[in-house]
Structure 1
Amino acid sequence: MERPRRGWEIPGDHVVCMYKIIVTPNASVRGVASKVIRYASIGEKEARQKQEYERFNAEIISWYETSKRVGLVMISYPPEMFDAKYGGIASLLSVIAGWNVSMNEILRVKLLDVFLPEKITKEFEGPRWSPDKIRRKLRTGGEQNCFLRVPIYPRLAYPEDYEHRIKCLLKKAPEIAPDIIADSELLFNHEFCSIDKRIDIMSKFNKHVESMMDAKERVETKTGCKTLFFINVSGKPSYTLEKTEAVKEAGLDGITLNVLTTGFSLLEDLRSKFKNLIIYARANAHALLTRGNSVGISFDVLAKLFKIAGADIIYTGAPCGSLDRVKPLDDHVADIRHRNTIVRNPIYNIEPALPSISGGVHLGNLQVNILLAGVPLQITVGDGIYNFPWARNNLDRIADVIRLFKKAIYIITQRKENMWDDHEFRELRHKKCRTYFMEEGKCVDPTDKEIKDVLRRWVYPEFRDVLEKWERGK
């Protein structure tokens, strides 16, 4: 059966949702869908008795059964049902994923997609920092469109370790440094490493980088100049607002927020109050909602809601990594490509945001991830840097590993060349770090049976030459 066409803009002013519904043995998909739209209104009995309330009635615009008791249903909700201006995402989800999809006749239900009209999106702030604005803030030369984010490891670090790792990451700054240095999402306001202490440490290094740039008259290099500093402010609303204000006062660049554990409304509030800060939306706990084939909310919907709520950088998953792959590789890459399109493209008044990949990204699979995820892109690398042979037992060499990643990103995304044709990377792979790259999963082979067809089908057009050179080089 043909897969329903999915998009991110629709004509008209209705919110349209696509559901996958599995009903109980004595129910029908069509009958249950009819109840869903009645229950989503002011009430079944009241809707029949009061004609003036017809404008609140939802409608079934298409449905079909994929098998017995299993169906796909598209429901159109009139904009009058939502209070997007004051209720925000909470109002939206209360209608499209509320008690109307909790009735007994529904055995399982999953919200696959939501199509938002301009009448709704105009009530949301959306991202304030597009990929172009982030690039300008980094003060990079050329057309850099792939940014390296390095979290501070260990994830639960004592202040002295926290400070030492930032110092090592910035050892060769500003010429060679991560584009973004960020807190771990596991660090909150622990007694052993409080957020105030972390803000002070990052503020000190931020001023140090700024002073070095001023001394060099802000020299533009291929690897970037300014490093952006992000603090994890996730927590209770009052705490998050207070600490975000502290981040702003310290002159830092952005914040990390675990949106699903802190709430969409908090993200919307932060966006409206702190327009000068870049917001990175983490999706911690998303697997509990998105992994089920017939239960929960799809990651596409979450990405769209993160974006309209105001996130500038949004986690979307890595094509070839260690997280979130529960489907065959071809389907997994197709989903990520569609999700990245949602994040990158404007939705009426909502500006583009920056997709972020993370989880098991290292030098051996960096190229395939870029070819399949496309650009602009943020790449988060943790273990891939800290556990590289040079840095594993010598933190002072982390800056050298960062240089390798920045060089590889530059070769792939700006020169449009195969990184493995470069002499230094060939030496690393076949001689200097041969054992490391021979470990299982450490180096992707473009002629491998599983990856070959996926690469040829899903590689972004601007990287087709890179793929051809890679295959020839292999």
Structure 2
Amino acid sequence: MAYSGFVDLSHIPEEDELVALFYVEPAEGISVEEAAARVASESSNGTWTDLPTMSERIRKLSAKVFKIDGKWFLVSYPVELFELGNMPQIWSSIAGNIFGMKAVSRLRLEDVFWPKDIVRSFKGPKFGLNGVKNIMKVEKRPILATVPKPKVGMTSEEQAEAAYEIWCGGVDLLKDDENLTSQSFNRFERRIRLMMEMRRKAEKETGEKKSYLVNITAPYEEMKRRLRLVADYGNEFVMVDILTAGWSALQSIRDLAEENGLALHAHRAFHAAFDRIREHGVSMKVVAESARLIGVDNIHIGTVVGKLESPLEEVMSLIRIIRDEKVEENWDMKLLRKDWLDIKPVMPVSSGGLHPGLIPEIMRIFGGDVIIQAGGGVLGHPDGPKAGAKALRQAMEAVLEGVDLEEYAKKHQELRRALEKWGYMKPV
């Protein structure tokens, strides 16, 4: 039949083959092996019927299912199937039509082994984890970030005033949220100008480096204009909603950011639409790997303890994927091996429902190489944004000094007030 040639359980992939790990729940009357074969076929060079145009030369380019373990299976793809350096084409291949096939009830692309030719075809981050730390003049502690809340609705003046208070309270980075771009109440040009004025004022007052993760997400030509405007104002970062903007826009913006000396902050808005159901869609692992190859410098990967759904095992896998130079295969964690060659590590961002009482657990999970972003956990402080920023900084300092938060709070009013309000609550 048309799909029989796409399974070869004796096949041993070559080092230059891309390998994808899938989970499948076949449709009624379809076996796992047949469903897997259809995935390999549809994602490479097969179709629903035999083809007289399928020459032996073309057949050698077919993807092959080479391992089946329960409902999990591995597919190898000859590297010739892919246009090097083209992430949209790669995703169109391994994560394209396959999810709509009648033969599968649920299907999940869980992880990818990226062969060296593909890794080398991407630039990776310009700055990466260590470059971001250098920009912020931070060495041995987490970088603290805050989104002024409400996330939309504030005027440019209101946001800049809140930013000044927060920066002066001890936070390093201010960030736009994913849905703040250039609405009528907060136009982009006015916001970046006022934010930079307040940034300079806060730096002078505190003697610390401050910066702004400004959201440039828009149609591509407008993103280019906004990026250049950010560079003209002397800011160090731009932020892009990488999934709603798309891989194509991200690849081009990454290069333009490098030309203008800017680091790239990746927000993952929309990811849960296709990765939250564990048996279907594309995992956040594959998203993070693709973003690292393209070249983001920071990326949100979840909190475990915050308001957004992110299991510990997934977050730990993501930390390894974006920070380590190499990753060993771990079948229990459904993690394929990685060799990132010269691709720099990416700074992870932990965000979503964080407050001072959760900082010890976040630092236990992530260590010091992380951006900890708390929005409501700063702006919601009973004594205002500056006190909220101080409480966040105090919680971090307590952990660094090895002091229990309750003990540290005895001499730090802002932290004490935060703990009185939120304690160690994990938002739901």
Matches within 5 A, 1:103-252: 103-140=101-138, 143-156=139-152, 157-170=154-167, 172=168, 176-209=169-202, 212=204, 225-252=208-235
Q: Quick check: 2:274–2:280 contact (8 Å CA) kept in 1?
A: yes
Following superposition, the deviation at residue 385 of structure 1 comes to: 0.9
Whether 2:425 is the aligned partner of 1:441: answer: yes
1:33: which partner in 2? 36
Q: What secondary structure is seen at the aligned counterpart in 2 of 1:401?
A: helix
TM-score (norm 2): 0.86
Letter of the 2:393 counterpart: K
Structure 2 residue corresponding to 1:409, chosen from 396, 415, 420: 396
Could you tell me which runs of 5 or more consecutive residues in structure 1 were left unpaired when the two chains were aligned: 1-9, 66-70, 220-224, 326-331, 392-397, 444-474
Go from structure 1 to structure 2 and tell me whether the alpha carbon gap of 1:132 and 1:425 turns closer, same or farther (over 3 Å shift). Answer: farther
Following superposition, the deviation at residue 198 of structure 1 comes to: 0.9
Go from structure 1 to structure 2 and tell me whether the alpha carbon gap of 1:21 and 1:163 turns closer, same or farther (over 3 Å shift). Answer: same
With 31-40 and 254-263 compared, the bigger mean Cα shift is at 31-40
Following superposition, the deviation at residue 184 of structure 1 comes to: 2.2
* Number of residue pairs matched by the alignment: 396
Following superposition, the deviation at residue 427 of structure 1 comes to: 6.9
Whether 2:314 is the aligned partner of 1:335: answer: yes
Q: What secondary structure is seen at the aligned counterpart in 1 of 2:307?
A: coil
Following superposition, the deviation at residue 135 of structure 1 comes to: 1.8
1:51: which partner in 2? 56
Distance 1:13 1:433 in 2: 53
Letter of the 2:265 counterpart: Y
TM-score (norm 1): 0.78
Go from structure 1 to structure 2 and tell me whether the alpha carbon gap of 1:257 and 1:203 turns closer, same or farther (over 3 Å shift). Answer: same
2:82: which partner in 1? 82
Go from structure 1 to structure 2 and tell me whether the alpha carbon gap of 1:401 and 1:191 turns closer, same or farther (over 3 Å shift). Answer: closer
Following superposition, the deviation at residue 288 of structure 1 comes to: 1.1
Following superposition, the deviation at residue 197 of structure 1 comes to: 0.8
Could you tell me which runs of 5 or more consecutive residues in structure 2 were left unpaired when the two chains were aligned: 1-12, 326-339
Distance 2:418 2:101 in 1: 58
Q: Quick check: 1:420–1:426 contact (8 Å CA) kept in 2?
A: no
Following superposition, the deviation at residue 416 of structure 1 comes to: 4.3
Distance 1:17 1:442 in 2: 35
Letter of the 1:204 counterpart: E
Whether 2:410 is the aligned partner of 1:424: answer: yes
**Offset from partner CA, 1:30-50 (integer Å, 9 cap, x none):** 122223223333335448741
2:292: which partner in 1? 307
**Offset from partner CA, 1:76-114 (integer Å, 9 cap, x none):** 1111000023xx211111110122453221121111111
Go from structure 1 to structure 2 and tell me whether the alpha carbon gap of 1:145 and 1:80 turns closer, same or farther (over 3 Å shift). Answer: farther
Following superposition, the deviation at residue 185 of structure 1 comes to: 1.8
Indicate the percent of aligned positions where both proteins have the same amino acid.
Answer: 21
Distance 2:40 2:137 in 1: 51
Whether 2:237 is the aligned partner of 1:254: answer: yes
Letter of the 2:140 counterpart: Q
Distance 2:52 2:248 in 1: 30
1:286: which partner in 2? 271
Distance 1:256 1:291 in 2: 23
Distance 1:230 1:118 in 2: 32
Distance 1:309 1:184 in 2: 22
Structure 2 residue corresponding to 1:93, chosen from 81, 91, 95: 91
**Offset from partner CA, 1:292-345 (integer Å, 9 cap, x none):** 1221111111111121121111101112111114xxxxxx21211111111111
Letter of the 2:318 counterpart: R
Go from structure 1 to structure 2 and tell me whether the alpha carbon gap of 1:47 and 1:284 turns closer, same or farther (over 3 Å shift). Answer: farther
Structure 2 residue corresponding to 1:270, chosen from 246, 249, 253: 253
Distance 1:23 1:93 in 2: 22
Letter of the 1:360 counterpart: G
Following superposition, the deviation at residue 435 of structure 1 comes to: 4.3
**Offset from partner CA, 1:4-49 (integer Å, 9 cap, x none):** xxxxxx9711111111111122111112222322333333544874
Go from structure 1 to structure 2 and tell me whether the alpha carbon gap of 1:61 and 1:420 turns closer, same or farther (over 3 Å shift). Answer: farther
2:68: which partner in 1? 63
Distance 1:428 1:77 in 2: 56
Q: Quick check: 1:322–1:360 contact (8 Å CA) kept in 2?
A: yes
Q: Quick check: 2:380–2:388 contact (8 Å CA) kept in 1?
A: no
